[in-house]
Each structure stands twice: as structure tokens, then as C-alpha cells.
Amino acid sequence: MMSFISIQRRFSHVFLSITWLSAVVLGQAVTEPVVVDFLGEYCLECHDAETAKADFILEPLHFDFTKPSVVDVWQKVLEKLETGEMPPKKKPRPQLKAKQMVSGWIRAEFAKANVPALIDHKMQSPEFGNHLNHEMLFNGSQKEPASSPPRLWRLSPFIYDHMIEGLGGLRHVRAVHQPFALDESKGVISDFASGQFAGDATLQLLVMNCQSIAEYQTVGISKRDHEGIMQRHRRVPDVFRPIVEWVDKPSAEQLLAAIHFEYKLILGREATEPEVSQAIGYLAKAQANAGRVRGFQSMLVSIMLKPEAVYRLEVGLGEEDKFGRRRLSDNELAFALAFALTDKGPNKTRVGGNEGQTLFEITKAGGLASPSDIRRVVKQILDENDMSTADYTMFAENHKVRNTRVLRFFRDFFGYHHAPRVFKDENRISIDSGFETKRIVHDADQFVMHIFDEDHDVFRQLLTSNKYFVAYPGSYEKFEKDLNYIRNNLNDANFKNNEKYIARLEAEGKIPIPIEGTSSRTYVKFYNLFHETWGYQTKQPFLLPKNQRAGILTHPAWLIAWSGNFDNDPIRRGKWILEHLLAGTIQDVPVTVNAVIPEDRGRSLRDRLKATKSKECWNCHRKMNPLGLPFESFDDFGRFRKTEMLDERLSIFPERHRGARTVPVQTNGEIADSGDSSLDGPVADAFELVHKLANSTRVRQSFVRHVFRFWMGRNETFADSPTLMAADKAYIENGGSMKAMIASLLSSDSFLYRK
């Protein structure tokens, strides 16, 4: 027999529930009957006792929040409402205000029962970043003042390495272990604030490192010379000598100078008066127990193990405002900005060149008092770390990439730097193949950073530009030798026996590909370039054909990184586009599903992917496959192609398989249910796909969300809506300037305030 709720639901397509509709219109308090009617209207068609989709049943509803089984049901309801996953897009969906009222009621009931909302914890994990409703973040409906939670953000390994480098030759005379590690998963932001703590293993390494550093600073470290004789390397700072070398007792001024020196060196600031008193008291006890030198080393270790030598302290020590938020103190802000833009502390981060002021000095002078001040300083730091024009010419292997934090974002976001980790069967790559993935990744670094430096229409250029960099396939040392050989051997068959060919290349500012070794000449084939006709461009970037390359998603580095060992990977490529560009979500593969593509080499990959259209698979794969299949116009080494080779492939070179069976590559795909109706529809190939994505407001806003996560070290919340909208606006109003976007984020309430 049907329940009352089931009967009511059968008539809901004709009559809206008067109870909850009235509550929404009149702004009345939500009650249990209102919630019952809401769920009956939108949820019970799939989750009543008869249908029970996903084994989730809502009837009969219970309201005793002291029972775990009841709480579990409401946790699920709250998660589906706040993430927008339910009701499904093809079903009637509630008004935003109605959904918010029901969510608010559930949260209120949780609060009464002292039950935490599990969705809040989930939303802090990087993999749940897209579960927050995208439209609500950018429609201006959120008015709550933004802030971040007080936190300790563990130092990155890059910051720690920079600190160790500042200690001189320590790395060369004694091993110092890297105590910190980051998540190296493909497609995630590695340096997230949540979930990174200094556990026992980290602390043990830190203590060992600190003891090595203290020994190095006070007495030096022994190392065998080239004849095997132990030599003592002495790098004792002058300020420490009265304490560790003089017989006389050091004066109070000398102790004070030594303590301030170590604080500046390790923590980037001077010690406070309480810290000085604490250090002197500790030193006296340590020296009484261990002697003058070892006691002093122990005191140095205590400074190196202070929390801020392990964590970035962002707790909000400034004044409290009327919203209960506390601004970062001047000291906190200086560190936060320095580490947001560099791996150096604020005492080493200068604005205005080598002779300019440090961030500490600017802060003390009141130069970071207002958001406009912060934007100006951030923009100046980014501009001063651009590459010069000269850096883009001739030898890519000698380029020094600046703005490394920005480069790290691009690598985390696109994931192309994982290309060297994708195993390729050695039977397909001969020893002279020139498959140098590290060099290809370096080319991609140059591509993204050049666009960032130009800072105009950045996001569109990242997805559509065909201005590429290709590293010189020889070496810097061999360059003149190669060039002279070519000029002196114009009849060499490698250069078409044609003096005019060499003259033409040089007239166009190009250098012929080096003649020694096929590896160098094969390297350029991954860009569909051929050493017999191309010639190395001495000034880069240069244009590749628009019908073969368009942006980073058609760059060999990205294509290799998101390929498999033997084939392309349309599924993961489509998943990347769904999550990174369309702000979409996809559930994990159920443990009951055997997610394996048939290994039938006599069929094309697209044909073999038909296995994903089975009932238990297609609900998810329909979101991914059509986005990834257009990239079948490239092979799994990133080379543009028009045909796909079938059967077993013994190498990556088609010319070695002239008799192999081939089929024309199918490149059609589709964007569906993206959340942007103007974006949805079929696409003919990867080039149409990336251009449509590049022109989409939703896609650009999804990019802004990921930029937010990288520089804030956390997922966005609804309270961050004004921050995201302001960053997007700054980007647009400044001609597509990513620097303006970053400056907007680092001067926002989300960055400056803690609550």
C-alpha cells in the first residue's frame, strides 16, 4: 500500500506543494511538514521504498537526530542539496531559495543535536572542490563577508630547500634530507593547506637536519678530500665565534646578536623580547648539561624547531572587525605575500630590484595597509620576475624560468609535467628515438610562461595559441660546431645537397638541425616537424600550423601526460576537461565495476571504448568520453595524425610499418550538460572543442576557481563568492590579465582575514 508521501508525490506534477511554496514566498520558518513536502516534490520519485535508486530510501522519514541511522540519511540529503547533485538535471529542480531553506533547517537540527555536518569536512578535500554549486558562486547571491579559517599551513619543500641553500655549502658537505612532501597526483593542486601535518617521520628528519645545521654553523663539518683525507669545513658565522671559540664568557650584547642572527636566518625576522629571554635561559641550562659548544648547538636547534620554521602561521593577530574577523598582522601578511609569490621569506623578497625594499621594510613603513597597496606591490613583484625578451631566443635549455610559483600553478593545473612518468614500452622506442619528455615538458613551461608574461587574454591564449617553443635538439656546446660543420659540408646529403637550402634557413633566422645522431633530429618529429625541411628557429616562439596545434591541450607534453602506456586515454582526458574547465564532478569507479578497455589491437580505440556504453558505465562515461575523443587526432606521443595504426606496433615510427593496417581517425565529440547552454553541442575535432571552451564564461570562471585554490591553499566556499567575482572582474577589465587576477585574490578579504 502506498504511503501518504508517495500518493502526494503522484499529484505533484499538477499541483505544487502549497506548504513549502508558501514558506518560500512568505519567508516563513521551515518546519517538518515543509521539509516532508519538499522531499516529496523533488526526491521521492527515485528514492521511495518502491524505486530505491542507488539503494537510498527516504520513506518513512524520521526526525530523531539522536539516532545515528537517522543522522546518516540527513547527512546524505544535505550533501546532495548543497552540492547540487540532486535532483538530476533532467528532473524538475527546486528554486534556489527553497533549497537553501531546507539545507538551513537540516543544519539547524544538526546543531541542536551537536552533530557536525560531514559535507563541511568533505568540502575541504581537494577532490571535492567542484562539489560547490558553480552558479551560486558567480550569481551575486552570496553576501556574507569573506574570510579564511585560522590555520597552520605547512611549509612546502621548495621553501625549505631555499632556506637550506641560504646556509652556504651545507648541501655539499653533508646530507640534509627533505622532510616535507607534496601530493604528486596528476591534476590536483599539490600545496594544499589542509591535511598536511608534520608527523613523527617528518619531525625526526627535521631534528636530524637541525642538528646537522647547528653543527655546521658552530664547528664546521668533516668531509674527505680528493685524497681521502678528512678535512674540516668551517663556515662559522662571525657572530657565533665569541660563543664557540673564545675562552672568555660572551657578553649580553654578543648573545643578543647571535640570537637575532639565527632568528633572521631561519625565521626571517628578529626575535621578540620574550623569545630572547627564553633563548638565553635555555642556553644557560643546556651549556650547564652539555658544555659550551653543544649547549649552544642545542639552543640553535630549539630556534630551528619553532612552529613557524615548520608551518606558515596565518591565525589572524590583527584587530577584530564588526563581523568577528581578524586581519592578518603586518608580520603575518608579509610572510603570506612572500610565500604566495616566491619561495623566499619577506626579508629576502624585494620590490624594485636588488636595491629595492624588502617586503618586511614595506610592511613596517605601512606600504601594505590597504588592498590597493597590496595589489600594486603584488603586480610589481610579478612584473619584475618576468623573463626578458632575450631569454626567449636561441637556446631553450638555458632559459631560467622566473615566477616559479606561477609556473607551479600551471603545472599543477594542466598536469603536463607528469609526461616523463608515463611509461612507454621500450619495444616502441628505439635508443635513438629522441623521445625526451623532460625537454618536451620544458618546452611547455616556456609556452605557458610566455603567455603569462605577455599577460593579455591569458586564459584564451593558453587554450588556443599556436605560438610554440621547441628546444634546440642539440646542445649549447655543440651549436657552433654543428653550424660550422653544416657551412663547411654543404654537399652533405642530410641537408638536401643544396646551398640555397642552408642560405634560406639562415635568412629566416633558423639553424639547420644538428647532424650528429638521429636522436636530435627525431626529437622535433613530436611536433610534426622534420629536420630535413624545418631548421631550428633562433627566435621563439614561432607559429605551428593552426590545423595541427592549438594551445596547451594539443601540446605533446599534455597529450603524453594524459595518455596510457600504449594508447591515448580519452577517458582521463575527458575527465580532466570536465573537472578543470567545466567545474563538473564525476564519482569514483564503483568497486563492482571492472573498468578495463578490451585489448583488441585489430580495432580502433574508439571502437573498443564502446564497452563503456553498458548500463552500469555510461552514466559517467557520457560526461567524459565525448570530451576526450576529439584528441584522437593525436597519437599517444602527441603527434598529429589522420589515421590510426591497428594491430601490434613495434615502434613509434609509421615509416617502419608501411604495410600496417590503418583506419581514418574519428575526431567528433560533444559538450553536454555543461551548465552553459551556449557551450553545449557537438564538436568536429579538438580544435573546435578548445576554441569553444576558450570562449565560455563558465570555463573561464572554473579557471578562476582553480587559481583561487592554488593561492589560498584551500577550496572555495560560498562566503568566497565576492572574492571570486572580483578576481574574474579584475581579469576581464584588465584585458585578460592573470596578474590582475592574482593581485585581486591576494588583496581580498579571503586572503587578509581569519575567523
Percent of the chain whose predicted confidence (pLDDT) is above 90: 38
Q: What is the pLDDT of residues 582-639, one digit of tens each?
A: 998 887 776 666 777 778 878 888 888 888 888 778 888 889 899 999 999 999 989 9
More confident residue, 634 or 124: 634
Strands 662-664 and 643-645: antiparallel
DSSP labels, 639-702: -B-SEEE-S--SSS-GGGGTT--EEEPP--EEE-S-S-TTT-EEESSHHHHHHHHHT-HHHHHH
Sequence-distant (≥ 6) Cβ neighbours of residue 70 within 8 angstroms:
62, 63, 64
The packing angle between helices 738-746 and 721-733, to 10°, is 150
Has residue 230 been placed in a domain? yes
Lowest mean pLDDT among 189-193, 298-302, 496-500, 667-671: 496-500
- Among 272-276, 324-328, 642-646, 743-747, name the one with the lowest average pLDDT: 642-646
Q: Is the pLDDT of residue 23 over 60?
A: no
CB atoms within 10 A of CB 642: 9
Confidence (pLDDT) at 452:
96
- Closest by Cα among 702, 746, 700, 740 to 723: 746
Q: What is the pLDDT of residue 11?
A: 34
Which pLDDT value is given to residue 232? 56
3-class DSSP state of 308 = helix
Return d(Cα 77, Cα 26) in angstroms, integer.
24
Residue 716 forms part of a structural domain = no
Are residue 462 and residue 423 in the same domain, yes or no? yes
SS3 for 116? coil
CB 272 within 8 A of CB 306: no
In this predicted model, what pLDDT tens digit does every residue of 374-399 receive, in sequence order? 999 999 999 998 876 556 554 444 55
Mean pLDDT, residues 106-116 taken together: 82
In whole angstroms, how far apart are CA 579 and each of 87, 544, 623, 687? 20, 28, 10, 19
Looking at per-residue pLDDT, the higher value among 104 and 18 belongs to: 104
Q: Does residue 382 fall inside a structural domain?
A: no
Q: How much is the pLDDT for 54?
A: 67
Question: In sequence order, what are the beta bridge partners of 232?
Answer: 222
Three-point CA angle 305, 309, 311, nearest 5°: 115
Q: Is 76 contained in some domain?
A: yes
d(CA 649, CA 269): 61
Q: Which of 292, 170, 278, 284 is nearest to 242 (CA)?
A: 292
Question: How many other CB atoms sit within 10 Å of the CB of residue 348?
Answer: 16
pLDDT of residue 69: 79
Let me know whether 302 and 166 are in one domain.
yes
pLDDT above 70 covers a percentage of the chain that reads 79
Question: Which one has a higher pLDDT value, 581 or 180?
Answer: 581
Residues in CB range of 716: below 8 A, 6 or more apart: 129, 132, 137, 705, 708, 709, 723, 724
In this prediction, residue 2 carries a pLDDT of 36
Same domain, 414 and 536: yes
Q: Mean pLDDT of all residues in the chain? A: 82
pLDDT band at 43 (very low <50, low <70, confident <90, very high): confident
Is 249 within a domain? yes
**731 within some domain:** no
Residues 174 and 302 in one domain: yes
548-572: b or e for each residue (b if 16 or more CB lie within 10 Å)? bbbbbbbbbbbbbbbbeeebbbbbb
Residue 593 or residue 27, greater confidence:
593
**Domain enclosing residue 600, as ranges:** 570-647+660-693
User: Is residue 498 very low, low, confident or very high in pLDDT (cuts 50, 70, 90)?
Assistant: low
Residue identified by cell 592573470 is 738
What phi and psi values does residue 340 have, to the nearest 5 degrees?
-70, -30
Regarding whether 303 and 162 lie in a shared domain, the answer is yes
Say if residue 476 is in the same domain as residue 535: yes
Q: Per the structure block, which three cell numbers stand in for 288?
A: 650547564
C-beta atoms surrounding 28 within 10 Å:
13
Q: pLDDT category, 406, cuts 50, 70, 90?
A: very high
Whether residues 165 and 283 share a domain: the answer is yes
Q: Are residues 243 and 167 in the same domain?
A: yes
Q: Of 128-142, 213-227, 656-670, 735-749, which range is least confident?
A: 213-227
Buried b (16+ CB within 10 A) or exposed e, 597-619: beeebeebbbebbeebeeeebee
Which comes out higher in pLDDT, residue 30 or 736?
A: 736
Per-residue pLDDT, 25: 40
The span from the CA of 178 to the CA of 175, in Å, is 10
Q: Are residues 303 and 179 in the same domain?
A: yes
Of the candidates 502, 524, 543, which is a domain's last residue?
543
CA 433, distance to chain mean position in Å, is 31
Instruction: Return the minimum-mean-pLDDT range out of 145-149, 510-514, 573-577, 687-691.
Output: 510-514
**pLDDT value for 628:** 94
Three-state DSSP class for residue 473: coil
**Domain C-terminal end among 309, 324, 356:** 309
Angstrom distances, CA of residue 1 to CA of 11, 13, 107, 483, 521: 17, 21, 33, 89, 77
Confidence at residue 733, expressed as pLDDT on a 0 to 100 scale: 97
Cell numbers representing residue 319 in the block: 584587530
> In this structure, are 175 and 82 located in the same domain?
no
Q: Would you say residue 450 lies in a domain?
A: yes
| pLDDT of 5 over the 50 cut | no
Q: Which is higher by pLDDT, 307 or 66?
A: 307
At residue 94, does pLDDT exceed 50?
Answer: yes
Query: Which pLDDT value is given to residue 299?
Result: 93
- Contact between 722 and 715 under an 8 Å Cβ cutoff? The reply is no
pLDDT interval class at 146 (50, 70, 90): very high
Average pLDDT over residues 339-344: 93
Question: What is the mean predicted confidence (pLDDT) over 348-370?
Answer: 90
> Which pLDDT belongs to residue 221?
67
Mean pLDDT calculated for residue range 523-539 = 82
Could you tell me which residue, 379 or 482, shows the higher pLDDT? 379
- Residues 6 or more apart whose CB falls under 8 angstroms from that of 458 comprise 451, 452, 731, 736, 737, 738
Predicted local confidence at residue 413, as pLDDT: 96
Judge contact between 191 and 182, C-beta under 8 A: yes
The per-residue pLDDT for 230 is: 47
Count of CB atoms within 10 A of residue 272's CB? 10
Question: Considering the domain boundaries, does residue 476 fall inside one?
Answer: yes
Q: pLDDT-based confidence at 226, cuts 50/70/90? A: low
Same domain membership, residue 581 and residue 491? no
What tens digit of pLDDT does each residue of 365-374 get? 999 999 999 9
According to the model, what pLDDT value does residue 746 have?
A: 97
- Is the pLDDT at 16 greater than 60? The verdict is no
Mean pLDDT throughout 5-9? Answer: 38
Whether residue 534 is found in the same domain as residue 408: yes
Q: How far apart are CA 726 and CA 373, in angstroms?
A: 16
Are 477 and 487 a contacting pair, CB within 8 Å? Answer: no
Q: Determine the number of helices (DSSP H) and then strands (DSSP E) in the chain.
A: 33, 16
The domain tally of the chain equals 4
Q: Is 16 helix (H, G, I), strand (E, B) or coil?
A: coil
More confident residue, 139 or 393: 139
